[in-house]
Each structure stands twice: as C-alpha cells, then as structure tokens.
Structure 1
Amino acid sequence: MILFFGNRPGKKETKVLTNVNCPHCNQTGTLTAVVQPNYAHLFWIPIFTINNIRYAECSHCKKVYHKEEFTLEMERALSA
C-alpha cells in the first residue's frame, strides 16, 4: 500500500496594521501582516498544523519583519 504523506502551505491571510508605526521609516498604517499555516497531510487531506509563517512588510520602505522581529505594538494589532 502506498501512503502519500507530506506537508504543504495553507491559505495566506493578510491584515493591514492600521495604527502601527513602521520601526524603520516611522510611517503609520503602511504595515501589512501575513500569516500562513503549514499543514501535514495524508493523501492531500490536512491532518494537523506544523507551524505558522508570520511576517509583516512595510509598503513605504519595503522592510520585511519576521515574527522574531515583531514589536509589541505589531503583536497587539495582529491579535486584535
């Protein structure tokens, strides 16, 4: 019997962080956060989440912040 087991990315969710300043250029409302889960699957059916990829990008200066670089202000805006 052949089992097809692997991982694949889920659907990206984007959210504009409206009242958050970019730490690099100090512009307000230019950050867009992206959250994308990675799933383990069996026969292309998602079984459980392996991890979540999170990052934010400033549309003004194009700086990308990975989840380790998020400020407290970014974390609060994402959870709201």
Structure 2
Amino acid sequence: MILFFGTKPGKKETKALTHVTCPYCNQTGTLTAVEQPNYAHLFWIPIFNINNVQYAECSHCKKVYYKEEFTPEMEQTLSK
C-alpha cells in the first residue's frame, strides 16, 4: 500500500498595518503583515496544522520582519 504524506502551505492572510512605522526606513503605513499556515496532508487532503508563519514586509524599503522581530507597536496592531 502506498501512502502519500507531506506538507503544504495554506492560504495567505494579509493585513495592512496602516498606523505602524517601519523601524528601518521610518515610513508610516507601508507595512503589511502576512500569516500563512502549514498543513500536514495525506493524499493531498489537509489533516492538521503544523505551524503558522508570520512576517511583516515594508513596501517602501522591502525589509522583512519575522514574528520574533515584531515591535510592540506591530504586535498591538495585529492583536486588534
């Protein structure tokens, strides 16, 4: 019997951080937060969520901030 098991990324969810300032270029309203789940699947059917990847990207300077690098201002805006 052959089993097809693996991982596959889920649908990205984006949120504009309109009143947050980028720590690198000091531009306000240029950050976009992205959250994407990663699923374990069996026969291409998602079974359970393995982890969620979260990051924010500045559209002005293209700097990427991963979850560990979020400022308190970013965290507060995302929790709303």
What's the TM-score once normalised by structure 2's chain length? Answer: 0.93
Match of 2:26 in 1: 26
For structure 2, the residue ranges without an aligned partner over 5 or more in a row are none
Q: Deviations over 1:20-54 (max 9, x none)?
A: 11111111110011111000011111111111111
Percentage of identical aligned residues: 81
TM-score by length of 1: 0.93
Measure how far apart 1:69 and its partner are. Answer: 0.4
RMSD across aligned positions (CA):
0.9
Paired residue for 2:47?
47
Q: Once the 2 structures are TM-superposed, how far is the Cα of residue 75 of structure 1 from its aligned partner?
A: 1.2
Q: Secondary structure at the match of 1:73?
A: helix
Counterpart of 1:58? 58
Q: Deviations over 1:47-80 (max 9, x none)?
A: 1111111111111111111111001111121121
Name stretches of at least 5 consecutive residues in structure 1 with no aligned partner.
none
Question: Are 1:67 and 2:41 an aligned pair?
Answer: no
| Aligned residue number for residue 10 of structure 1 | 10
For these two proteins, the number of residue pairs brought into alignment is 80
